[in-house]
């Protein structure tokens, strides 16, 4: 009974050379391609498992144009044994829902079903750099009806038919035990992908790759491609940064540089000259009949995620767009919030105060910690009964696996990591009708350089919203709502995954959202393992400033800091009053996570570091020399303009 390890990979354009077609869809013809970075980590995880199971068969699968064969051959040259490609023009324009469906259909065709006799493990990357949703692994798992763990950093087999996965969560991690078969998606923080070997490349050169069309695997066209997908991209615009030019410190020694920084900071940053907004030409609004395709669906459903017995901040934040959407929909649209857990009922009042009209409580001792299988099942049951038109989730590590899994159950498209949610319409010029009202979900994409608007046509329309993007709504003490209970039907199968351990560290995510000053270290600040970064944050704290330390992705990759301290990349935008970037070059994902900060100070030895283009104040110098000076200044009472709270 040999184990099969299946890696799902996608070929993506090199991030620096992203190009887009006129229609807003990815144009893959113009750019150099690589295997998506996260998928490379998935490939490596498979090769690591092979060390435990020397007899394991390593299979790599992809879906996309024929040119994806290059990526498959690279996987072979790294050590994989077989390669399959699903390639069909009819798949063009597929969204995540359709992609998950197509890939799982291919896997079933290859014999990898829930009830297969031979054991298998599906590995995938957490998310792709061109799509950035993190949804497909969940959708594949749901389509196959097997358990999953996403955002996993390392994966081991326990030798008794189970997989032990370390899943990254906000502020810490969970150790999970999954039965085989299962699907695991890997973060790019585990063991880095190996290089191909020459012997592997020679093998890859001659190995035939099996290419399937949709007919070969028995996949119909009704739910795939641009016409079958439940969501479409309607608009893509460039994101333009609007920060005023930086003020660099001048001086020939570290003390002068720091003094100069402080005096510049106190004087204030440059102000960007306001450009007159050019009136956009409004294209002619056709006089088509308005069609409401909601078919009776009504209301907005949100999820109240809990951690450490509290409702998490991102779950409260989404009540802000939920309220806006309810207001825009009018007609007495209600916000319903689903609260699941053990002894969580008392948290309803908080939700009422922040804007929920109804809290649907599900209590079960087995549901103390979030688990994707029972939670998605409960959601599907609630949705079936209540028929909401919109379901919103915070784009946390849980929200981003739960929402797509629910979407497969309801047939809905799911929009990922949104930063804007509005009610609008869709002018269908082909059928000469206007769909209204319809949810417009906006999300940054293509490495944060573009903002895409996505519409869904299946109800409920499901979106996840990027944490930190929306403000916490103003609470209304004593506001009342309806509390109801819901009794879901749950089977033993839904509890097949066991959480062995949950570790939530001190501080981290929550603190990053709330801190006034964040001191963040990049690759260029790791020679003392972020010692000076932490010390500056500590010194600020000791002086009554709400400060926290953070870091860039590479620092987490190198194992210097926990994932929870990472700024950038995964669904997390922070907006402190002051952000101090030390030794951070300014990768686009990092900038996306912090560019909303009120004031940005950059310290780096490289005067050409990209970060200086996005900062208000800058010092060129070695952080080992600059930070001690700055720490002394803080001890002397400098608090970056934050009024200290005396303890």
* Neighbouring residues of 487: CB distance < 8 A, sequence distance ≥ 6: 362
Least distance in Å: CB of 195 to other proteins?
4
State the number of binding residues for other proteins (CB under 8 A).
Answer: 22
If binding is defined by CB under 8 A, does position 251 make contact with other proteins? no
Strand 4-9, strand 498-504: pairing: unpaired
If binding is defined by CB under 8 A, does position 196 make contact with other proteins? yes
Of 46 and 404, nearer to other proteins (C-beta) is 46
Least distance in Å: CB of 558 to other proteins?
9
Element (H, E) at 108: helix 96-109
Of 197 and 343, nearer to other proteins (C-beta) is 197
Query: Is 440 within 8 Å of 453 (Cβ atoms)?
Result: yes
Alpha-carbon distance of 152 to 322, in angstroms, equals 30
DSSP state of 406: H
Least distance in Å: CB of 32 to other proteins?
9
Query: Is 38 within 8 Å of 153 (Cβ atoms)?
Result: no
Could you please report the per-residue DSSP string of 6-74? Answer: EEEE-EEE-GGG--B-TTSSB-TTSS-EEE-HHHHHHHHHHHHHHHH-TT-EEEEEEES-GGGHHHHHH
Q: Which stretch binds other proteins (CB under 8 A): 95-103, 200-208, 504-512, 538-546?
A: 200-208
Q: Which of 115, 73, 310 is nearest to 209 (CA)?
A: 73
The end-to-end CA distance of the chain, in Å, is 64
Pick one of 25, 116, 175, 201: the residue that binds other proteins (CB under 8 A): 201
Q: Which stretch binds other proteins (CB under 8 A): 190-198, 394-402, 416-424, 594-602?
A: 190-198
If binding is defined by CB under 8 A, does position 608 make contact with other proteins? yes
Least distance in Å: CB of 250 to other proteins?
16
Of 77 and 269, nearer to other proteins (C-beta) is 77
153: tokens are 């950093």
Cα 516 to Cα 105, 487, 599, 620: the distances in Å are 49, 42, 10, 24
Q: Which stretch binds other proteins (CB under 8 A): 194-202, 257-265, 345-353, 570-578?
A: 194-202
Least distance in Å: CB of 532 to other proteins?
14
Of 318 and 587, nearer to other proteins (C-beta) is 587
Of 27 and 625, nearer to other proteins (C-beta) is 625
SS (H, E, C) 78-97: HCCCEEEEECCHHHCCCCHH
If binding is defined by CB under 8 A, does position 198 make contact with other proteins? yes
Alpha-carbon distance of 186 to 121, in angstroms, equals 13
Alpha-carbon distance of 632 to 647, in angstroms, equals 21
Of 19 and 205, nearer to other proteins (C-beta) is 205
Pick one of 493, 606, 632, 645: the residue that binds other proteins (CB under 8 A): 606
Pick one of 29, 52, 67, 197: the residue that binds other proteins (CB under 8 A): 197
Least distance in Å: CB of 539 to other proteins?
21
Least distance in Å: CB of 621 to other proteins?
11
Report phi then psi at 358, rounded to 5: -140, 140
Of 245 and 268, nearer to other proteins (C-beta) is 245
Q: Which of 95, 129, 103, 128 is nearest to 455 (CA)?
A: 95
If binding is defined by CB under 8 A, does position 250 make contact with other proteins? no
Using CB under 8 A as the criterion, what x/- string covers residues 554-593 for binding other proteins? Answer: ----------------------------------------
Q: Which stretch binds other proteins (CB under 8 A): 198-206, 286-294, 352-360, 574-582?
A: 198-206
SS (H, E, C) 234-288: EEEEECCCCCCCCEECCCCCHHHHHHHHHHHHHHCCCCCCCCCCCCCCCCCCCCC
Of 41 and 352, nearer to other proteins (C-beta) is 41
Least distance in Å: CB of 623 to other proteins?
13
Least distance in Å: CB of 562 to other proteins?
19
130: tokens are 């061109």
Of 111 and 607, nearer to other proteins (C-beta) is 607
Q: Which of 104, 117, 109, 179 is nearest to 148 (CA)?
A: 179
Q: Which three-class secondary structure state does DSSP give residue 488?
A: coil
Alpha-carbon distance of 360 to 483, in angstroms, equals 6
If binding is defined by CB under 8 A, does position 244 make contact with other proteins? no
Query: Is 209 within 8 Å of 73 (Cβ atoms)?
Result: yes
Query: Is 33 within 8 Å of 70 (Cβ atoms)?
Result: yes
Least distance in Å: CB of 273 to other proteins?
23
Pick one of 191, 211, 226, 588: the residue that binds other proteins (CB under 8 A): 191
If binding is defined by CB under 8 A, does position 70 make contact with other proteins? no
Using CB under 8 A as the criterion, what x/- string covers residues 73-92 for binding other proteins? Answer: -----xx-------------
Least distance in Å: CB of 142 to other proteins?
31
If binding is defined by CB under 8 A, does position 252 make contact with other proteins? no
State the Rg of the chain over Cα: 25
Of 179 and 196, nearer to other proteins (C-beta) is 196
Write out the binding residues for other proteins, residues 254-313 only, by CB under 8 A: 254
Alpha-carbon distance of 51 to 45, in angstroms, equals 10
Write out the binding residues for other proteins, residues 7-66 only, by CB under 8 A: 44, 47-48
Least distance in Å: CB of 538 to other proteins?
23
Using CB under 8 A as the criterion, what x/- string covers residues 616-635 for binding other proteins? Answer: ------x--x----------
362: tokens are 């599900």
DSSP state of 572: B
Least distance in Å: CB of 196 to other proteins?
7
Q: Which stretch binds other proteins (CB under 8 A): 185-193, 210-218, 222-230, 335-343?
A: 185-193
Q: Which stretch binds other proteins (CB under 8 A): 197-205, 396-404, 434-442, 563-571?
A: 197-205
CB-neighbour burial class of residue 405 (10 A; exposed 0-12, middle 13-18, buried 19+): buried
If binding is defined by CB under 8 A, does position 192 make contact with other proteins? yes
Of 190 and 225, nearer to other proteins (C-beta) is 190
Least distance in Å: CB of 614 to other proteins?
18
* Neighbouring residues of 247: CB distance < 8 A, sequence distance ≥ 6: 264, 269, 270, 616, 617, 618
Interface positions with other proteins (CB under 8 A): 44, 47-48, 78-79, 191-199, 201-202, 205, 254, 606, 608, 622, 625
């Amino acid at each position: 009974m040999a184990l099969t390890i299946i890696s799902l990979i996608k070929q993506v354009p090199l991030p620096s050379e992203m190009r887009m077609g006129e229609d807003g869809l990815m144009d893959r013809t113009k750019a150099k391609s690589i295997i998506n970075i996260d998928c490379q980590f998935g490939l490596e995880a498979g090769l690591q498992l092979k060390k435990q199971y020397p007899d394991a068969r390593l299979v790599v699968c992809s879906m996309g144009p024929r040119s994806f064969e290059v990526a498959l051959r690279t996987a072979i040259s790294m050590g994989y044994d077989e390669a399959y490609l699903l390639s069909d023009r009819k798949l063009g324009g597929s969204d995540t829902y359709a992609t998950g469906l197509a890939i799982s259909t291919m896997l079933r065709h290859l014999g990898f079903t829930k009830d297969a006799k031979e054991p298998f493990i599906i590995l995938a990357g957490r998310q792709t750099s061109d799509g950035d949703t993190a949804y497909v692994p969940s959708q594949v798992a749901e389509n196959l009806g097997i358990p999953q763990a996403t955002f996993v950093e390392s994966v081991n087999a326990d030798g008794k038919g189970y997989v032990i996965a370390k899943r990254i969560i906000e502020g810490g991690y969970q150790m999970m035990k999954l039965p085989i078969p299962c699907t695991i998606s890997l973060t790019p923080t585990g063991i880095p992908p190996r290089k191909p070997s020459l012997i592997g490349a020679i093998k890859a050169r001659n190995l035939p790759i099996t290419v399937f069309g949709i007919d070969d695997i028995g996949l119909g066209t009704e739910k795939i491609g641009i016409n079958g997908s439940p969501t479409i991209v309607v608009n893509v615009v460039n994101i333009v940064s609007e920060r005023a030019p930086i003020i660099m410190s001048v001086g020939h020694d570290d003390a002068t540089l720091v003094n100069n920084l402080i005096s510049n900071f106190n004087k204030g940053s440059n102000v960007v000259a306001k450009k007159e907004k050019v009136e956009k030409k409004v294209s002619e609004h056709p006089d088509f009949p308005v069609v409401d395709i909601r078919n009776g669906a009504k209301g907005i459903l949100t999820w109240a995620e809990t951690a450490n017995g509290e409702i998490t901040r991102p779950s409260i934040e989404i009540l802000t767009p939920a309220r806006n959407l309810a207001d825009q929909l009018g007609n007495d649209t209600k916000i319903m919030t689903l609260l699941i857990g053990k002894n969580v009922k008392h948290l309803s009042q908080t939700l009422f105060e922040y804007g929920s009209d109804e809290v649907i409580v599900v209590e079960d001792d087995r549901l103390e910690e979030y688990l994707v299988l029972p939670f998605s099942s409960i959601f599907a049951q609630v949705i079936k009964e209540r028929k909401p038109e919109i379901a919103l989730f915070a784009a946390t590590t849980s929200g981003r696996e739960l929402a797509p899994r629910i979407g497969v159950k309801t047939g809905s498209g799911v929009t990922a990591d949104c930063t804007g949610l509005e009610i609008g319409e869709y002018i269908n010029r082909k059928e000469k009708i206007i769909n209204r009202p319809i949810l417009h979900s906006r999300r940054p994409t293509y490495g944060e350089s573009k903002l895409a608007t996505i519409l869904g046509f299946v109800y409920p329309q499901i979106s996840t919203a990027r944490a930190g993007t929306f403000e916490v709504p103003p609470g209304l003490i004593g506001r009342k709502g309806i509390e109801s209970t819901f009794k879901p039907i749950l089977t033993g199968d839904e509890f097949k995954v066991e959480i062995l351990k949950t570790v939530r560290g001190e501080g981290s995510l929550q603190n990053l959202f709330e801190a006034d000053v964040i001191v963040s270290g990049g690759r260029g600040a790791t020679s003392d393992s972020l010692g000076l970064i932490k010390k500056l944050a500590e010194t600020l704290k000791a002086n009554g400033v709400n400060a926290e330390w953070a870091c860039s992705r590479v620092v987490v990759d190198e194992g210097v800091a926990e994932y929870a301290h990472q700024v950038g990349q995964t669904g997390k935008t922070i907006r402190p009053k002051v952000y101090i970037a030390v030794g951070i070059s300014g990768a686009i994902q990092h900038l996306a996570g912090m560019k909303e900060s009120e004031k940005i100070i950059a310290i780096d030895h490289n005067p050409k570091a990209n970060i200086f283009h996005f900062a208000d104040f800058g010092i060129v110098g070695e952080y080992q020399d600059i930070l001690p000076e700055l720490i002394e200044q803080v001890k002397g009472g400098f608090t970056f303009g934050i009024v200290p709270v005396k303890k």
